[in-house]
Chain A
Amino acid sequence: MKTHVFSAIKLTLVMLILLSGIYPLLIWGAAHLTPDKGQGKRIIANGQSYYKNIGQTFTQGQYFYSRPSAVSYNAAGSGGSNKGPANPDYLATVQARIDSFMVHNPGIHKKDIPAELVTASGSGLDPHISVEAATIQVKRISQIRNIPEANLNELIRKHTEQPMFGPSVINVLALNISLDQLK
């Protein structure tokens, strides 16, 4: 019994050095050999270094909107709404988002609004939207910015990422930065 206790304590201490010390140091060292240097993927624009993977809030009409977020895209925390699918308060929120979207995007059909634009993501930091979600905002942005719709559609096409597996997505931050550069 006593030998077990001492062995357990000593084994715990050496394993701590190995698993909480040497192993993370090794990975930290390896990080400096990778393109992102362990700082996450970045986009540099306007003299700022943004995280490419951390979504940002876009509520102004001149930008492509990002998805609703339960944490307002403040990456000091993260989380989803955790609302059940039949929760009446939740369904009222979604309905309000649809109504608001219809008001801000005159001339679109309700049946074309993709669900991801009115539902919150799991992390509250989702950096992406779908092609449909970007396309449906073209009319609004074209009017506000006075840019022909064709140019915006071209921009969307250029920013569409289709990985080998998985859904095709558009990074909203990268899209909006290019949008600002579009004259």
Chain B
Amino acid sequence: MYSEMIGIVFMFTISLLLAIPLGKYMAKVYGGQPTRLNRVFNPLEKWLFGISNINPNTEMNWKQHMLAMMIINGVWIVLGMLILMNQSWLPLNPDKNPDMSAHLAFNTTISFVVNCNLQHYSGETGVSYLSQLFLQFLQFVSAATGMAAAVVLFKALKDRATHQLGNFYVYFVKSITRILLPISVVIAILFLFDGMPMGLEGKEQMVNLQGDTIQVSRGPVASFIPIKHLGTNGGGYFGSNSAHPLENPSYFSNMVAMIAQLLIPFSMIFAFGYFINRRKMSWMIFGVMTVGFLLLAIPNIVQEVNGNPAIAKMGIQQKLGAMEGKEMRIGAAASGFWSIVTTVISTGSVNAMHDSTMPMSGMNEMLAMMVNSFYGGCGVGLLNFFIFIILAVFISGLMVGRTPEFLGKKIEANEIKIAMLIALLHPFLILVGTALSSYLYVNNPEAYASWLNNPGFHGFSEMLYEYTSSAANNGSGFEGLGDNTLWWNISTGIVLILGRFLPIIGPIAIAGMLAAKKQIPESAGTLKTDTSTFGIMIFAVILIVTALSFFPSLALGPIAEYFTLY
């Protein structure tokens, strides 16, 4: 157990040590400053822009940014639906997997476009290799969309009184060519040496040692998994995601995947500080996020390592912890840690089945997504956190009787209204979805019997988790839920779209409005926003909003389950 704890500390430390220089590099990339890699990337990007008729020097205001983003995302949705609904006759389908139904294709496309990767299919039987390669494309571009949106925020908070916030396509393309793609290649090579498959042959049939005939699914796995984690997508190549021994062959690959998913969210925070020349701000943000992260992660590790009390009662030993739904090579400690990393960060990949984790672990996994801004997804984590910063600035301003200001810009009624709407949208989507589904189920339990895999409180948690995961664009699930039905595909699909684009547009609108305002010089009376006092203030705002919104629903699910078990 000792070496497992060391393993966890090691993963976190390496991620942080890599993220600081990467953040500096990213600030340079987005700031348009020359880097040593210019000679490689400049011609490639020039070619990409040339073919696409894009003038990279055109400046956009925040509305033009959002328009460009929405249009290109729309193109991906149309293309995705076309491919997934015709995959059976399109090339690269050696296993003869069937077309997706319209509602499943809708859900799958949306979910990959919005960086969520909620999967209501299993990779082995639900998609062709062509579709896998297309989903891999979406994993790159959805991450880059989030990063580009975050850079618009950086730019708005840096420049003084301006409407010109750079070019969306430039931020988007550079995120891929200079950050996501090169790092993915490095990670893929590490994975190949660890025995991850990469090929286009279909399922392999074999006779096992006992003489039974089985099949083994495979395919282009090693190119898919790096961006799945690096882009905080989390969509598994195989049905059981990173628990699958070909998708996550060893403790080493588990560490690499863990570092890969922490890397960009960490780096974005530091890139922000470098970009606006306030490095202390980065550390304040990182500090608040890390405190929140640890408060969720440590109880999970403890719970999972201690094992299931109901099984302890049967009189057997649980030296290795709660092993239902977990893999031996990863172990309970690293699985508990991963369950929080993947939920705070909106990756949503799983290396153990969350449905089988202990009640309080399940609650923390949901809480992580309900907050959705402790680190958060590629780019969008910082945008969500920005909303809480604005709210904290406003409340502190009222408490000390000063005009609320952030980075020398006055926060006024319009900004607060948007911030409040976005902060309330998240609980609205989650709770309304869960309430509607519960209503349907309770009134017709026989018709919807296939929905829930567990009775009682845990069954309710399965539905609550699904909407939480959708609204947070996370993509993990209490996978016992029978979710490939018209109701779940459509309802979560709608939650996914709203939960993605409104929380991007809202913060960018605020940032755009702030950018246009006159800079007020700092004085002795200015509220300092990069201090630990202000950090505590932000934390309190997050705590209050989350606790007030979600405590009742959590009490009906995991908390009630806890008291039946202990």
Contact = CB atoms under 8 A, between A and B. Distances in A.
B75 interface: yes
B71 interface: yes
A54 B220 CA distance: 17
A77 B51 CA distance: 41
Interface string A124-142: 1111111010000000000
A180 B326 CA distance: 28
Interface residues of A, number: 100
Nearest to B54: A7
Given A7-B54, A79-B239, A82-B480, A166 B325 contact: no
Contacts of B325: 80-82, 119-122
B184 interface: yes
Contacts of B193: 34-35
B199 A31 contact: yes
Contact of B68 (A4, A55, A58, A63): A4
Given A87-B454, A98-B314, A121-B325, A52 B195 contact: yes
Contact of A169 (B328, B351, B456): B328
Contact of A10 (B53, B197, B352): B53
B355 A84 contact: yes
Contacts of B10: 165
Given A79-B239, A167-B4, A126 B245 contact: yes
Which of A8, A18, A59, A132 gathers most chain B CB within 10 Å? A8
Given A27-B188, A38-B198, A58-B210, A83 B255 contact: no
A65 to B, nearest CB: 11
A119 B314 CA distance: 13
Which of A85, A114, A173 gathers most chain B CB within 10 Å? A85
Interface string A109-126: 011111110111111111
A64 B510 CA distance: 62
Given A12-B72, A74-B214, A27 B185 contact: yes
A182 interface: no
B527 interface: no
Interface in A160-178: 163-167, 169, 173, 176-177
Interface in A43-98: 45-46, 48-60, 63, 67, 73-88, 90-91, 94-95, 98
A11 B240 CA distance: 33
A163 to B, nearest CB: 5
B327 interface: yes
A6 B53 contact: yes
Interface string A1-24: 101111111111011101110011
B214 A7 contact: no
Given A74-B214, A82-B356, A126 B351 contact: no
B256 to A, nearest CB: 12
A148 interface: no
B6 interface: yes
Contacts of B254: 166
A50 B324 CA distance: 26
A26 interface: yes
Contacts of B396: none
Contacts of B297: none
A79 B123 CA distance: 11
B467 to A, nearest CB: 18
Contacts of A40: 195-197, 218, 246, 249
A36 interface: yes
B564 interface: yes
Interface in B356-400: 356-359
A5 B71 contact: yes
A71 B185 CA distance: 33
A131 to B, nearest CB: 10
A26 to B, nearest CB: 7
Nearest to A170: B328
A38 B195 CA distance: 7
B317 A176 contact: no
Given A20-B134, A38-B192, A15 B53 contact: no
8 contacts: A26-B185, A36-B195, A49-B206, A79-B122, A85-B359, A86-B310, A115-B320, A125-B245
Given A9-B75, A76-B214, A79-B239, 20 more contacts: A7-B52, A11-B51, A19-B140, A23-B185, A23-B223, A24-B136, A24-B220, A38-B192, A45-B209, A48-B207, A56-B210, A63-B210, A73-B214, A75-B214, A82-B353, A82-B356, A84-B480, A98-B314, A114-B320, A166-B251
Interchain residue pairs A-B with the least CB separation, the first 6: A122-B243, A166-B251, A165-B7, A82-B480, A84-B458, A38-B198
